[in-house]
Amino acid sequence: MNVYEIKSMAERLDGNTYPGRGIVLGVTPDGKKAVAAYFIMGRSVNSRNRVFIQEPDGIRTEAHDPALMKDPHLIIYHPVRELGKGLIVTNGDQTDTIWEYAARGESWEAALRTRQFEDDGPNWTPRISGLQANNGSYKMSILKAADPEGNACARFFWEYPATAGLGHFLHTYVCDGNPVIPTFQGEPERVSIPNCIEQLTDELWENLNEANKISLYVRYTDLETGNCEARIINKHE
C-alpha cells in the first residue's frame, strides 16, 4: 500500500455516487498559483434546490426556486470568503465563525472548537473547512460525531506546505448510504493539481455523479500578484 499515492480528481471521484460536499486545496505544478475548489451535492429536493452566487469576497449559496425552500439553516451559507490575502473554504456557516475569530486575532482552531458537526442525525454531517494562506500553504479540518448518537464531537486538524502539483481533497461522506451515510474517515486524500483552471473544473464537474451534483466553484490565485480567476458551474443555470 502506497500511503503517499497521488491520484487525479477523476480517479478519486470515480464510481462514488455521493461524496457529499468536498473541498480541494493545493498548488499548481509550476508553483505559481494557489488552487481552491468546493462542490456541493444533494439527494433531497431541498438540498438540490441551490446555486452558487458570486460575492465580492467569495461565494454564497442561494435557493434556485425560493418556493421550494423548506429549511435553510444548513444549506444557505457563505462557503468561500476571502481573509486578507488568504481564503476560507467550508461547507457551512463556520466560514463566518473562522472569519470573525481571525478578525480579532484568534486562531482558526479556536474558532472551530466552538463548532461541531451538523444537527442532522442520524447522519451527523461533518463540518469540513479549509484555510489557504497567501504563500500557498493551507490547513484543513473536519468536525465529526464521535459516536452514532452524536453525543460528542471529534475534531481533526491538518497543516500542509505549498507543494507544487499537489493538493488535498476532503469530503463529508465516504460514499452513499441508506439509512445512514458513512462519515469521511482518515486524512485528506492526496490529489494532483493541473496548471489549467479549465482542466480541473472539467475534471471535477464531469466526474461528480450526474444525479446528485449541484454546484462547483474553482479558484486559481497567482501567488505573486494576488490576482485570481474563478469558475462557477450550477446545475440549475
Sequential pLDDT tens for the chain (237 residues): 899 999 999 999 999 999 999 999 999 999 999 999 999 999 988 889 999 999 999 999 999 998 888 888 888 999 999 999 999 999 999 999 999 999 999 999 999 999 999 999 999 999 999 999 999 999 999 999 999 999 999 999 999 999 999 999 999 999 999 999 999 999 999 999 999 999 999 999 999 999 999 999 999 999 999 999 999 999 997
Q: What is the pLDDT of residue 114?
A: 98
Q: What is the pLDDT of residue 1?
A: 87
CATH topology of domain 9-234: Glutamine Phosphoribosylpyrophosphate, subunit 1, domain 1 (3.60.20)
Which residues neighbour 21 within 8 Å (Cβ) at sequence distance 6 or greater?
38, 39, 40, 41, 91, 128, 171, 172
C-alpha distances (whole Å) from 163 to each of 18, 138, 221 are 28, 10, 15
Whether this model's pTM surpasses 0.85: yes
Which ranges in 5-142 belong to alpha helices (H)?
9-13, 45-48, 94-103, 108-112
The C-alpha cell at 138 is: 493551507
